[in-house]
């Protein structure tokens, strides 16, 4: 049986393993604190890389700031923490695939590494803009594990996780960079190979943010800087120069070679940004299958195209609505057989030659007639272009903020400066086959709202993961007066109400729409200190720790920490069964079967082994004797030798 370490992923050891693959002689085994781990022999590595080293004060291009090394270390250091399920605060806990996670996003991202490594298609974040009024995360680079667990998420004495970063602070930019760097470093690892990240920011940190992203993602992975014109009147708060009308949205790819040109169906882009597409040239219709398509008149509006300059584009078209038969004839031949309707490019005018040209030639009309729509009543012909796409521009207009959306759902002034769902829908929609969307500065949960709305509109199956620190609402704010004690309460309620509204507005097409979410909350590990450092405890005191699990933790708490450790989806289906009067959890149809009962007998072990799980997990303390452990191994060897057996 293998014991789970019940810690977040150790990125340093992962990096050493990568070096070991390339330079095995440069990696050695060392014993530290009674444990054997891998370490890099830099003298050997230096020999291997001797011709490519930068030595001493040799000039090089670099972007640095105070404590940058500590920020990198912070991203790599594992933590003893977990995510505890809050079933009563969730919506459709048993069936939903969506997650809402409360807690410091750096610690949450560390915990998600094992499970969601390379599995997120789109990340969108709207971090603090560092205006001198914003709050930034107060990361403590020096605290040890004991201090972390004592702080239960690194809150100060007053319960604050955030501090205001005023412009008079001598470390104004430094504190912001130290906050954003480790979070983006982990975020990159979560992206799939064809994934992208969108980061909203203004000019206060845009230049620094781009340099950080160039370093973390690679300068060649830069995709775009979207200029979002979100306030054409301008912000009337500038002390000098022109008033600002826009915000930046930086976009980077995990692997830019896997990202094509951002494009959308023209009809969908028109739906997202209707004011930007007022041309009468394009419209929408439903074809025989009830699918929305674009209709574009077959007339060529270029007056230079006529029967003299383009005779092959000037002819009459006959159409039989019953048989769907199409004929073409000379433009001056007005003969129309019974059952047919005559469509001519003739326009009103005084001259004899008063014809437009068609967009298509006779051959194309006959060969591609399935892409034509004949309006018998209006005597017009339209092209049906199902695959008509348009490249998305890097200037986004006609999409304002989300104040009205939030106000209509929750009340006026509940949340300041929320992004709009139209903006998030546009960004998410440019990524084809999007499966998972992550937002670790969730705020009012606009991203979750946009994901649900998109799925309702195009039948998609996107899942969202929202992460938000439970920042307290000011007691003088409208949000607090409305009963919301922190931002997480606002976000969760918005998702509930938005999901209900979407289903009410489209009851026939949203029957199976997932508008639920599992609430998980960051907390210290379920395991007592002795679990991680047994060697530090005297033998006499070990009797007090016969059970290494904290008294206030439930079996469901333990299950979710095990799922994190084994890299299993936190939205997996969970079934609860009773075997010989013992509670047993079955995750994703026998992928994981866990029993955390204090005393597990052979009957329980045998029944679990007969289910042939991928992983079987038990409490270490449930094996009361050496004979019980031997029997445990023999039972699995007999019934399910391939099962990976673990204990906590």
pLDDT in tens, 456-485: 988 899 999 999 999 899 899 999 999 999
191 within 8 A of 118, measured Cβ to Cβ: yes
Domain that holds residue 45: 7-54
- 147 pLDDT band, cuts 50/70/90, is very low
- The pLDDT of residue 416: 87
Per-residue pLDDT at 350 exceeds 90: no
Residues 6 or more apart whose CB falls under 8 angstroms from that of 157 comprise: none
Mean pLDDT for the stretch of residues 313-320? 93
564 and 639, same domain (yes or no): yes
- 149 pLDDT band, cuts 50/70/90, is very low
Q: Please indicate, yes or no, if residue 542 is contained in any of the structural domains.
A: no
Beta bridge partners of 164: 135
- The pLDDT of residue 141: 37
Please tell me which residue, 491 or 295, carries the higher pLDDT value: 491
Please tell me which residue, 395 or 292, carries the higher pLDDT value: 395
Residue 222 CB-density burial (10 A; 0-12 exposed, 13-18 middle, 19+ buried):
middle
- The pLDDT of residue 145: 36
Q: Please indicate, yes or no, if residue 355 is contained in any of the structural domains.
A: yes
CA distance 221 to 205: 19
255 and 397, same domain (yes or no): yes
98 and 202, same domain (yes or no): yes
Beta bridge partners of 616: 593, 645
- 626 pLDDT band, cuts 50/70/90, is confident
Q: Please indicate, yes or no, if residue 257 is contained in any of the structural domains.
A: yes
Beta strands 316-320; 263-265: pairing state = unpaired
CA distance 77 to 180: 16
- The pLDDT of residue 624: 64
Place of tokens 């052979």: 602
Q: Which two tokens stand for residue 532?
A: 């991680």
- The pLDDT of residue 545: 45
Per-residue pLDDT at 32 exceeds 90: no
- The pLDDT of residue 94: 96
496 and 516, same domain (yes or no): yes
Per-residue pLDDT at 142 exceeds 50: no
621 and 637, same domain (yes or no): yes
pLDDT in tens, 562-600: 999 999 999 999 999 999 999 999 999 899 999 999 888
Residues 6 or more apart whose CB falls under 8 angstroms from that of 132 comprise: 165, 166, 167, 172
- 631 pLDDT band, cuts 50/70/90, is confident
Domain boundary among 385, 419, 444: 385
Please tell me which residue, 206 or 270, carries the higher pLDDT value: 206
Mean pLDDT highest for which of 46-55, 158-167, 180-189? Answer: 180-189
pLDDT in tens, 162-188: 666 666 555 667 888 989 999 999 999
18 and 155, same domain (yes or no): no
Quote the crossing angle between the two packed helices 626-639 and 602-610, to the nearest 10°: 20
CA distance 20 to 12: 12
116 and 229, same domain (yes or no): yes
377 and 419, same domain (yes or no): no
- The pLDDT of residue 96: 98
288 and 160, same domain (yes or no): no
pLDDT in tens, 413-464: 899 889 999 999 999 999 989 999 999 999 999 999 999 999 998 889 999 9
Helix (H) or strand (E) segment spanning residue 449? helix 446-458
Q: Which two tokens stand for residue 491?
A: 């976000």
- The pLDDT of residue 152: 34
Per-residue pLDDT at 153 exceeds 60: no
418 within 8 A of 441, measured Cβ to Cβ: no
- 372 pLDDT band, cuts 50/70/90, is confident
- The pLDDT of residue 351: 44
Per-residue pLDDT at 601 exceeds 90: no
Mean pLDDT highest for which of 206-215, 306-315, 398-407? Answer: 206-215
Q: Please indicate, yes or no, if residue 539 is contained in any of the structural domains.
A: no
Q: pTM here?
A: 0.80
Please tell me which residue, 34 or 151, carries the higher pLDDT value: 34
Q: Please indicate, yes or no, if residue 69 is contained in any of the structural domains.
A: no
- Which 8-state DSSP code applies to residue 526? S
Q: Please indicate, yes or no, if residue 211 is contained in any of the structural domains.
A: yes
Per-residue pLDDT at 223 exceeds 90: yes
Q: How far apart are the first and last CA of the chain?
A: 10
Closest CA to 390 of 263, 569, 566, 503: 263
Q: Please indicate, yes or no, if residue 59 is contained in any of the structural domains.
A: no
CA distance 595 to 597: 6
CATH number, domain with residue 114: 3.40.50.150
Domain boundary among 488, 506, 522: 522
377 and 416, same domain (yes or no): no
Per-residue pLDDT at 136 exceeds 80: no
- The pLDDT of residue 157: 47
What is the domain count for the chain?
4
300 and 202, same domain (yes or no): no
pLDDT, the chain, mean: 84
326 and 416, same domain (yes or no): no
- The pLDDT of residue 386: 57
- Which 8-state DSSP code applies to residue 308? T
- The pLDDT of residue 29: 80
Phi-psi region of 244 (alpha: psi -120 to 50; beta: other; left: phi over 0): beta
Domain boundary among 322, 353, 385: 385
- The pLDDT of residue 543: 45
Q: What is the Cα gyration radius of the chain?
A: 31
CA distance 117 to 107: 15
Mean pLDDT for the stretch of residues 267-278? 74
Mean pLDDT for the stretch of residues 329-336? 90
pLDDT in tens, 522-565: 999 999 887 776 555 545 444 444 578 999 999 999 999 999 99
Q: Please indicate, yes or no, if residue 536 is contained in any of the structural domains.
A: no
């Amino acid at each position: 049986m293998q014991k789970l370490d019940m810690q977040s992923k150790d990125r340093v050891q992962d990096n050493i393993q990568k070096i070991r693959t390339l330079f095995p002689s440069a990696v050695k085994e060392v014993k530290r604190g009674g444990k054997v781990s891998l370490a890099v022999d830099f003298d050997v590595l230096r020999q291997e890389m001797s011709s490519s080293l930068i030595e001493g004060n040799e000039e090089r291009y670099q972007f640095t700031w105070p404590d940058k090394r500590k920020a990198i270390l912070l991203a790599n250091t594992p933590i003893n923490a977990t995510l505890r399920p809050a079933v009563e605060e969730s919506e459709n806990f048993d069936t939903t695939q969506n997650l809402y996670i409360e807690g410091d996003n750096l610690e949450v991202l560390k915990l998600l590494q094992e499970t969601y490594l390379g599995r997120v298609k789109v990340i969108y974040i709207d971090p603090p803009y560092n205006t001198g009024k914003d709050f930034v995360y107060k990361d403590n680079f020096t605290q040890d594990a004991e201090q972390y667990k004592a702080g239960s998420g690194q809150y100060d004495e007053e319960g604050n996780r955030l501090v205001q970063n005023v412009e008079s602070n001598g470390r104004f930019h430094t504190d912001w960079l130290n906050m954003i760097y480790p979070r983006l470093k982990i975020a990159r690892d979560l992206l799939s190979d064809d994934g992208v990240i969108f980061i909203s920011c203004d000019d206060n940190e845009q230049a620094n943010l781009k340099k950080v992203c160039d370093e973390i993602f690679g300068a060649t992975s830069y995709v775009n800087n979207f200029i979002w014109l979100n306030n054409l009147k301008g912000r009337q708060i500038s002390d000098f120069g022109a008033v600002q009308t826009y915000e930046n949205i930086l976009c980077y790819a995990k692997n830019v070679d896997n990202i094509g040109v951002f494009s959308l169906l023209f009809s969908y882009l028109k739906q997202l940004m209707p004011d930007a597409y007022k041309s009468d040239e394009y419209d929408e219709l439903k074809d025989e299958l009830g699918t929305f398509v674009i209709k574009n008149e077959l007339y060529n509006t270029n007056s230079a195209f006529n029967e003299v300059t383009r005779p092959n584009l000037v002819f009459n078209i006959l159409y039989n609505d019953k048989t769907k038969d199409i004929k073409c004839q000379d433009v001056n031949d007005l003969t129309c057989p019974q059952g047919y309707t005559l469509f001519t490019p003739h326009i009103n005018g005084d001259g004899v030659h008063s014809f437009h040209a068609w967009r298509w030639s006779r051959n194309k009309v006959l060969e591609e007639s399935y892409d034509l729509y004949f309006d018998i009543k209006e005597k017009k012909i339209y092209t049906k272009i199902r695959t008509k796409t348009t490249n998305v521009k890097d200037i986004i207009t006609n999409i304002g903020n989300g104040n009205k959306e939030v106000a209509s759902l929750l009340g006026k002034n509940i949340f300041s400066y929320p992004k709009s769902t139209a903006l998030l829908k546009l960004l998410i929609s440019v990524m084809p086959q999007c499966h998972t969307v992550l937002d670790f500065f969730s705020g009012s949960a606009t991203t979750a709202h946009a994901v649900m709305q998109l799925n309702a509109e195009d039948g998609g199956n996107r899942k969202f993961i929202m992460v938000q620190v439970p920042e307290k609402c000011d007691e003088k704010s409208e949000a607090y007066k409305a009963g919301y004690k922190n931002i997480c309460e606002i976000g969760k309620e918005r998702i509930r109400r938005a999901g209900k509204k979407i289903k009410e507005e489209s009851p026939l097409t949203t029957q199976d729409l997932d508008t639920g979410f599992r609430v998980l909350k960051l907390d210290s590990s379920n395991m007592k200190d002795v679990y991680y450092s047994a060697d530090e405890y005297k033998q006499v005191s070990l009797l007090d720790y016969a059970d290494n699990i904290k008294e206030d933790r439930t079996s469901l708490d333990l299950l979710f920490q095990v799922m994190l450790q084994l890299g299993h989806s936190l939205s997996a289906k969970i079934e609860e069964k009773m075997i010989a009067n013992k509670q047993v959890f079955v995750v994703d149809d026998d992928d994981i079967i866990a029993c955390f009962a204090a005393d597990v007998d052979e009957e329980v072990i045998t029944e679990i082994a007969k289910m042939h799980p991928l992983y079987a997990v038990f409490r270490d303390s449930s094996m009361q004797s050496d004979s019980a452990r031997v029997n445990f191994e023999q039972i699995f060897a007999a019934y399910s030798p391939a099962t990976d057996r673990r204990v906590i």
